[in-house]
Each structure stands twice: as structure tokens, then as C-alpha cells.
Amino acid sequence: MTATVNATTSKAPTGTDIGLAIVRVSVGGLLAVHGSQKLFGWFNGYGLDATAGAFAHMGYDPGKFFATLAGLSEVVGGLLLALGLLTPLAAAIVLGTMINAVNVARSGGFAMWELPAVYALVAVAFAFAGPGRLSLDAGRPWQRQGLAWSAGAIALGVVAALVTLAVK
């Protein structure tokens, strides 16, 4: 008698698990780098004071508050996404931040807003797909997945973006 291994119950990572991990770590890491550029000037960034001036120029007043909010959102959302930790919350944070980035960049033409749009779409995809088995959420009691959690994460991200746009 030959034993067969079911890919869905096996403990070994699948190609899907590896693919999700690669996208999560890559996109989450890049977002964290963007945030650290805003907050600390790392990776050839401008730092908080210059970023605050740019945010004020874009109509986000007070600039320092909104620059800090954007930087923290990118760092925290990016790191949570990269780790696959609290994934619905990470997706909401990234989506809300990127909706604001698309709004700011849209007047500059497609080349200016395509990257934040891609980040937003990746966040939506992770809200639906979950982080995969190679994540800190996998198999934990706090892991949340499914259509209700996906819809909730997306709604939270959109509402947070709209509130930010309304009060800026």
C-alpha cells in the first residue's frame, strides 16, 4: 500500500506558501523602507522635517502630524505584512495609506500613482488570501481569515483613508 501526501494537509511548504512569503516580505519590506525614509531619513530619505514640509505643501495640515502618520503607517503596516502578523490589520493599514498616496500622486499622471496603486492592490490581495503558512499568523489562535475579515480589513482601510482625506 502506498501512502499519498495531501498538499493541503502536509506540513511542508507549498509553492503557494513560498510565493506568498516572497511577496509579503518584499512588499512589506519596501513599505517599511519608505516609512523609515520619511521618519528618520534612512536609505537616502528626506527625514521627518523635510517630509513634513512636503506634506504641508500637499495640503496635509499640520504637515508634521500627517508625515509622522504616513511614516508610521508604512513602517508598521510594512513590517506586519512582511512578518505575516495580524495580516488583516496590516492590509488595512497599507491600503489606507496607499489610497492617500494615490490621491496625492494622481495629478502627476499614471507613472506617479502606479506604485502606490500596486501596493494597495497587494494589500487587498493579502486581505483575501491571508499570509500563507510561512508567517507568524499561521496556525495561531489570533489568525483571522475569510471573507468577513477580508471585507472588514478593506472597509477599515478605506474608511481610515477617507477620514484622513477629510481632515487634512
Task: List, for residues 32-88, the tens digit of each pLDDT value.
Answer: 999 999 999 999 999 999 999 999 999 999 999 999 999 999 999 999 999 999 999
User: Distance of alpha carbon 149 from its chain centroid, rounded?
Assistant: 16
pTM: 0.90
Q: What is the DSSP string of 100-147?
A: HHHHHHGGG-HHHHHHHHHHHHHHHHHHHH---SSSSSTT-TT---SH
CB 99 within 8 A of CB 161: yes
- 5: pLDDT strictly greater than 90: no
